[in-house]
Structure 1
Amino acid sequence: MAILEILEIPDQRLKQVSVPVEKFDDELRTLVSDMFETMYDAPGIGLAAIQVGVPLRVLVIDLQPEDPDAEPVACDHDGHHHHHTPTKREPQVFINPEILDPSEEHTLYQEGCLSVPEIYAEVERPSRIRARWQDLDGKVHEQDMDGLMSTCLQHEMDHLEGILFIDRLSRLKRNMAIKKLEKLRKAA
């Protein structure tokens, strides 16, 4: 297991189009477990292989919903007790994913990206999709998705085509986002 380096804009590798996975082997399993470890460490809810420099059509997603059945955990890093609802992990792997049947109806979601740190913007995408993908054994799955899962999968699939969420903004908004990121980096 390893935490990999996440590429950030303007790294040109993020613009590559990723190639389909043909070998469902141990190397792929290692990549996927490293991607999960990297994503949880970041932390994020989705990661495409190209974001760690591997141009393969592999995505990992875990929306990490709050777990209503779990006991609240008290943290006292700063001497105070804070209760937060623990999240449950629901790791999902999508290999060679495709979108079938996007809905006419669109939804706006506030999106962010580990490759465009600390920048958030509203992106409009089809509300519902049917997705088809392979798992780590190469088995094919199909499922209807809506809500955050639909948005997140579409966002991650854009990475496979070399598209970042800021590329879907108007030129003005994209330039503002890039300027803001440059400012944040200078401040750091």
Structure 2
Amino acid sequence: MILPIVAYGHPVLRKVSEDITPDYPHLQQFIANMWETMYGSSGVGLAAPQVNKAIRLFVVDSEQIINNLEEDEKAEYPGDQGVKQVFINAHIVDAEGKEWPYNEGCLSIPKIREDVYRPETIRLRYVDENFQPHERTFHGITARVIFHEYDHLDGKLFIDYLKPLKRRMLKGKLEDISKGKISTDYKMIFHK
């Protein structure tokens, strides 16, 4: 089932999400709905707060980005094959490397894209959909997508990384999104 995506301005996007246990109600169905929602809205990642659940869960499919790069572009991200996986109760162990810009967007902030600087690598401790523990380092575009989705779990948005002048320039567009004055190809929830 495709879930509606929470729009900028909704308080759930600013909450710090909580860890869950294996007995979280209907977890496998919720994960399936997350994948369907992400693909249905042409996303490469989706965090639970974006579908109105303040829990530490996100899904990422960076394979679709890597697979669509030209060969010379792939050389810019050595060792990044992309991932398609579920991250539950993720916590950053380490983030390192030179910060580099990438033009990011967000399903909760439609039609706004801006360059954001993030480190090259992220090391995460998390459990998968079967609650098997993992600790793994991710690089390149995959790290970028994970950083972006992880931020949602801590109540942060990509626009928080923008310089104050850029934020002021986007103020009108952001207010329009929060008031529902936007059209998208997917269903959204607006805070009243």
- TM-score, shorter chain, exceeding 0.5: yes
Moved over 4 A (4+): 181-188
Aligned position for 2:165: 172
**Larger Rg over CA atoms:** 1
Aligned position for 1:56: 55
> 1:25-79 CA deviation, whole Å, 9 max, x = no partner?
56111111101100000010000001000111000011214379xxxxxxxxxxx
The amino acid of 1:154's aligned partner reads F
Aligned position for 1:66: 67
> 1:121-175 CA deviation, whole Å, 9 max, x = no partner?
1111111122221001111112221111101101101100111100111122123
Aligned position for 1:75: none
Which has the higher mean CA deviation after the structures are superposed, 32-41 or 127-136?
A: 127-136
The amino acid of 1:66's aligned partner reads N
Aligned position for 2:15: 16
Q: Is the 8 A contact 2:118 2:144 kept in 1?
A: yes
Q: Is the 8 A contact 1:45 1:61 kept in 2?
A: yes
Of 122, 135, 147, the residue aligned with 1:129 is: 122
Of 99, 104, 108, the residue aligned with 1:111 is: 104
The higher relative CO (CA closer than 8 Å, separation ≥ 6) is in: 2
Are the structure 2 counterparts of residues 100 and 90 from structure 1 closer, same or farther at C-alpha, using a change threshold of 3 Å? closer
Q: How many residues align?
A: 167
Unaligned runs of at least 5 residues, structure 1: 69-88
Unaligned runs of at least 5 residues, structure 2: 70-81, 184-192
Aligned position for 2:76: none
Are the structure 2 counterparts of residues 133 and 172 from structure 1 closer, same or farther at C-alpha, using a change threshold of 3 Å? same
- Over aligned residue pairs, what C-alpha RMSD do you find? 2.2
Of 129, 149, 154, the residue aligned with 1:156 is: 149
Q: Is the 8 A contact 2:8 2:174 kept in 1?
A: no
1:132 and 1:3 map into 2 onto residues whose CA distance is 28
1:178 and 1:35 map into 2 onto residues whose CA distance is 29
Aligned position for 1:78: none
Are the structure 2 counterparts of residues 23 and 15 from structure 1 closer, same or farther at C-alpha, using a change threshold of 3 Å? same
The amino acid of 1:103's aligned partner reads E
Q: Is the 8 A contact 1:60 1:92 kept in 2?
A: yes
Q: Is the 8 A contact 1:24 1:136 kept in 2?
A: no
Q: Is the 8 A contact 1:49 1:56 kept in 2?
A: yes
